[in-house]
Structure 1
Amino acid sequence: MVGHEFVRLLEALWTRGREVPYAPVSASQLRVLYTLDRDEGINLRTLGELLGSAPSSVSRLCDRLEALGFVRRLPSQVSRRELELHLTSHGRTYLQELRSRRDASLLEVIEGMTPTAARALLVGLAGFRDALGETDRAPGLRPADDARSA
């Protein structure tokens, strides 16, 4: 029961933080952006493996992100047969603005909590992090995101 409520509250918070006046992206597209932010220059096959998605699905996601100007495909430095995926400056700006909005939304909620509730949240998040394990990060989540989110 606690788990379902926790997920519901996080979804509500992140949805609020995703309200950007231009070019909103789906959750799947956002995972691609986060992954490319962390692993710049990977190919479609590697991206698919990291996301646990079929190559055709990943290719379509990248097509849409490329059409939005968030991602570009460049010839690989290693293999002439492969393409590397890179975030554009527009894609990086979108992620930075999204993170800023989410940070602000989260801080607004935390600042509205009593000191006792905020401490309890911190203890609960420490337990959550421990249960998750230090090496089990969601695809597209950088170590800096872990620290900032906790």
Structure 2
Amino acid sequence: MAKADLKTKENEASVLDFLNSVENETRRQDSLIVMKWMEEITGLPPKMWGPSIVGFGTYHYKYDSGREGDMLKIGFSPRKAALTVYIMPGFLRYEELMGSLGKYKTGKSCLYIKKLTDVNESVLKELCQESWAYMNEKYG
């Protein structure tokens, strides 16, 4: 099976133009803070993935079904309902950190935060660092 035709692809759109267009002031400011952290953690510049995700690094995946593609190693998106942080390995391996993170919701690899003041920022940074390290160890 060929690579899946994903909407979420790295592109050359301006990350700052995108973030500056976020209407919710708190979400915009929180996004700029998270972007700075992720730049520090990864040592990479932010890239747009699709129209609304800011990502760092790339990995290639291949499922048993034969489906394969490229995806960001870590990133975030200032969605209307919440700031979504993409922790690609999921959250099971980070149970202890999650217990002291604060107020949040999760999906499979999505961490939903209403505002940064709802969470312990040092725990969130550590979660991002550990996720980044894991993705680099697993995918190079």
TM bracket, shorter-chain basis: under 0.3
Q: Which has the higher contact order (CA 8 A, sep 6+)?
A: 1
Comparing both structures, which one devotes a greater share of its residues to helix? 1
TM-score (normalised: structure 2): 0.26
Comparing both structures, which one devotes a greater share of its residues to strand? 2
Q: Which has more radius of gyration?
A: 1
TM-score (normalised: structure 1): 0.24
